[in-house]
Amino acid sequence: MAYRTLRGTICYTSKQPQRMDVERGREYFTLTRQPDGTDLLHAHCEIDDEPMVVRDVVQAMEHATSKPLDCHVRLTVGNRFEGSGWFRFTDHHAECETWNRKDGRISQRIELASPVEWMQCHPIVGDALLMKAYDRSQGPGKRRLDHVMLSSPDHRGATGPMLFALGFSIQYVGEERVSVGAGKFDAYHFQVTDTAGELPEEHPPYNVWCTADEDYILLKACAEGYMMTHYELMELEITG
């Protein structure tokens, strides 16, 4: 199989009444499917809200499940370098080598009872790739994920980077037809649920729509509650 590459742009906007549809950030991503069944994600993320966040992620994962293999995260917050970290995963342990402005040099090695199912480094495109963990052949329903890692427990991913373990559920709602800036697509609709007690601050209800194919490219997403944020695919180019 030849390399297959998907390139896209995601726009971040606000749905708060006083800022309705105001652009608050953007994301540029490249997802390359390699012949060995590995997906390699490059994502550059910008959040304009103060303190401004700039995040660069390179993440390798299994194509079929998005199970993490290794990744690197570099983070700038408030126009200052915040931290940089490298992560690696096997069936038996997760490890990282990182340096951040708050804590200095950190080495982590976490022994695992079960392999990590997903590593969330906070690019929005990753919120859709996560949904490969749900077996859609079961139809609409909910699945609990107890073996997830974050590079930051902050909702904006603005701390660290370092390993943070948690669990939550993903719920498959069904198939829909959606229209976004990049065009009209058949979509799978999912929700992230059951985050209470897993994070320093509970994440508001979160809906995600992705392409109804094996790529699971994010089409749109929205966070409710105090966040009231919206994310939408504006451009998509596929080669290979």
Tens of pLDDT, residue by residue over 89-117, are: 999 999 999 999 999 999 999 999 999 99
Per cent of the chain over pLDDT 90 is 90
CATH architecture designation of domain 4-239? Clam (2.50)
The structure tokens listed for 165 are 């373990």
> Domain-by-domain residue ranges, the chain?
4-239
Q: What is the pLDDT of residue 27?
A: 98
CB-based contact 235:9 (threshold 8 Å): yes
Q: What is the pLDDT of residue 142?
A: 96
Indicate the pairing of strand 206-211 with strand 183-193. antiparallel
Give the C-alpha separation, 34 to 70, whole Å: 15
Nearest to 129 by CA among 56, 50, 210, 191: 210
Per cent of the chain over pLDDT 70 is 97
Helix ranges restricted to H, 136-208? none
